[in-house]
Amino acid sequence: MSRRLQASNQVAIVGYAQSVVERHAKQTLGALAVETARTAIADAGLDSVDGFVTGSLFPSAGSHSEADGVTSVTANWLAEHLGVNPRYAAGFQGFGQIPGAVSMAVNAVASGAATHVLFHRALHNPQGSYHGNSLSEARGGQQWTLPQGYFGPLTMIALPYNEYLQRYGASHEAMAAVVVEARKNGARIPWSVWHDLPLSAEEYLAAPMLTDPIRRFDCDIPVDGVAAFVLTSADRARDLPHRPVYVAGYASGAPIRRRLPLHWPLDDIMEVGVETGRRLWQAAGISPSEVDLPQLYDGFSPFVYFWLEALGFCPRGEAHRLVAGGGIDSDRPDALPVLSGGGALGNGRMHGVPQMLECYLQLARRAGPRQRGEPSIGIACHSSPHYGGAVAYSAEPY
Amino acid sequence: MRRSFLSGFDEILPYVIVDVELAEQPELRTLGRLLDGPDVPLAIGAAVQVAFEDREPGVSIPAFTLAGRP
């Protein structure tokens, strides 16, 4: 039996909107989401939609009070504030919110649960320390990590990156190539928080070490920002103003070995990540060599190494050599342009939105001065290869 | 760790956390502070032994020290 997604290339993105990405927006997150959603619906040539999906997680370990419409925006909140009684509204729970929620949008359209689905992602930067937490009791799994002082995403990523550095003899200079590439491309993007602000390798290496071996610019910067995309069937897409970009397949992470909270050993990431990749290639019916627009997730820079290797773009342990040799320089015609959209490091903490947006803009031929010829297959990754996922996009149905 | 994000840890910064596999049960991994200080040379595969850190009366937290050091 074929593992190809039955709905492969039957659902397409037909419009989008991306807000300006700022450290702190002037409006509340909800107001920005309403405005961005309206722009996306109009961009698709529509008056309204009947489906809403998102993954609304507020990705902070800090002790902030959370409120729908302020720190996050759920699908139902957005539908209500657009004045729509939706036929379908749902949220993806867990990591990899972008591929998770896109898969729900595809399934809703393919099943007929909705005809036009708005996918959105709204991300908020609260006042005060992003991850600072005043909790004084640890329960459940955290009783084995918090008293030890093991807490938060920086610690989570420092451990597997340290394993990678030691196991494969990678240098800090190699990772500078990843961050410089993200910021180079982000500097070219008008809506990015880093617009016109490229970073040099010297600046990367001189920045403070936060949790060894993670430096300041290995981390994306928290922002306020919203992106929205409209998806509908390939049949309906033909009558809409913009060239459709088809969803060829998707995959989310496979079952994961049980660990302590935020304990992500390198072998877990890679073993499960390879399976995530295998599912993606099967669902889309393609191989890595057919991808001309890979967009890898980079919320922490080491994820770029992990995705390069998990998806088979280079052998295990070789990603650091590939990037150090200019292998991901989007200005070189022979390189893999894995951060041509700037990623999260080059746009701000928009999760996997920059990867999805770059796939859409390039495959719809809407990237303006950044247009990279006529790429045919893009993939947009989000989160870690083991907990996250990826979506394959195509410029033409196949 | 140069910053903990949790209250109560500032006075012991900087500190080192190690990911430890139990010799008695391969693949079972746990986390804890290494009590040898922040500047001790470390490599993956180094042997450790369990220790207990007394943080306050009645509160002892499992931790580790490098094994085989004089």
Q: Write out chain A's pLDDT in tens, 398 residues.
A: 678 999 999 999 999 999 999 999 999 999 999 999 999 999 999 999 999 999 998 888 787 888 999 999 999 999 999 999 999 999 998 789 999 999 999 999 999 999 999 999 999 999 888 888 888 888 899 999 999 999 889 999 999 999 999 999 999 999 999 999 999 999 999 999 999 999 999 999 999 999 999 999 999 999 999 999 999 999 999 999 999 999 999 999 888 888 999 999 999 999 999 999 999 999 999 999 999 999 999 999 999 999 999 999 999 999 999 999 999 999 999 999 999 999 999 999 999 999 999 999 999 999 999 999 999 999 999 999 999 999 999 999 99
Q: For residues A387 and A254, what is the distance between their CA atoms, to the nearest angstrom?
A: 8
Does the ipTM exceed 0.90?
yes
Does the beta-carbon distance from A260 to B1 stay under 8 Å?
A: no
Residue A6, Cβ neighbours under 10 Å: how many?
Answer: 8
Task: Tell whether B2 is covered by a domain.
Answer: no
Numbered residues of chain B with Cβ closer than 8 Å to any chain A Cβ = 1-9, 12, 15, 17, 19, 29-33, 43-44, 55, 61-63
φ and ψ at residue A331, rounded to 5 degrees: -90, -5
Does the beta-carbon distance from A150 to B55 stay under 8 Å?
A: no
**Options 3.30.470.10, 3.40.47.10, 3.30.565.10, 3.30.230.30; which CATH number does A11-127+221-394 get?**
3.40.47.10
Q: Which of A146, A210, A260 lies at the smallest CB-CB distance from B6?
A: A146
A contacts of B33 (beta carbons < 8 Å): 148-149
| Number of independent structural domains in chain B | 1
Residue A385, Cβ neighbours under 10 Å: how many?
Answer: 30
Q: Are A217 and A345 in contact (CB under 8 A)?
A: yes
Q: Tally the residues of chain B.
A: 70
Task: Tell whether B40 is covered by a domain.
Answer: yes
Q: Which residue of A has its CA nearest to B19?
A: A159
* Whole-number pLDDT of residue B69: 60
* Whole-number pLDDT of residue A133: 83
Q: Which of A151, A154, A159 lies at the smallest CB-CB distance from B6?
A: A151
Domain that holds residue B38: 10-66
* Whole-number pLDDT of residue A257: 86
Q: What is the 3-state secondary structure (H, E, C) of A248-282?
A: EEEEECCCCCCCCCCCCCHHHHHHHHHHHHHHHHH
Does the beta-carbon distance from B6 to A260 stay under 8 Å?
A: no
Q: For residues A210 and A342, what is the distance between their CA atoms, to the nearest angstrom?
A: 22
Q: Which of A131, A260, A263 lies at the smallest CB-CB distance from B5?
A: A131
Does the beta-carbon distance from B19 to A210 stay under 8 Å?
A: no
Mean pLDDT of B28-47: 94
Report whether pLDDT(B70) > 70.
no
Does the beta-carbon distance from B17 to A132 stay under 8 Å?
A: no
Report whether pLDDT(B67) > 80.
yes
A contacts of B7 (beta carbons < 8 Å): 133-134, 136
Residue (of A356, A397, A355, A357) closest to A376 by Cα position: A397
Q: Which residues contact A6 (CB under 8 A, 6 or more apart)?
A: A110
Report whether pLDDT(B31) > 70.
yes
Does the beta-carbon distance from B44 to A132 stay under 8 Å?
A: no
A contacts of B8 (beta carbons < 8 Å): 136
B contacts of A135 (beta carbons < 8 Å): 6
Give the mutation candidate from B2, B4, B16, B20 for the A interface (greatest A CB count, under 10 A): B4
Q: Which residues contact A345 (CB under 8 A, 6 or more apart)?
A: A178, A179, A182, A183, A186, A217, A218, A220, A298, A299, A301, A339
Q: Which of A131, A155, A259 lies at the smallest CB-CB distance from B1?
A: A155
Residue A47, Cβ neighbours under 10 Å: how many?
Answer: 8
* Whole-number pLDDT of residue A65: 85
* Whole-number pLDDT of residue A59: 82
Q: Which residue of B has its CA nearest to A212?
A: B1
* Whole-number pLDDT of residue A331: 98
Task: Tell whether B4 is covered by a domain.
Answer: no
Task: Tell whether B3 is covered by a domain.
Answer: no
Token pair listed for A204: 């990367």
User: How close does chain B come to A175, measured CA to CA in Å?
Assistant: 20
User: How close does chain B come to A134, measured CA to CA in Å?
Assistant: 6
* Whole-number pLDDT of residue A256: 86
Does the beta-carbon distance from A159 to B61 stay under 8 Å?
A: no
A contacts of B20 (beta carbons < 8 Å): none
Answer left, alpha or beta for residue A358, where phi above 0 means left and psi between -120 and 50 means alpha: alpha
Does the beta-carbon distance from B6 to A135 stay under 8 Å?
A: yes
Q: Are A115 and A232 in contact (CB under 8 A)?
A: yes
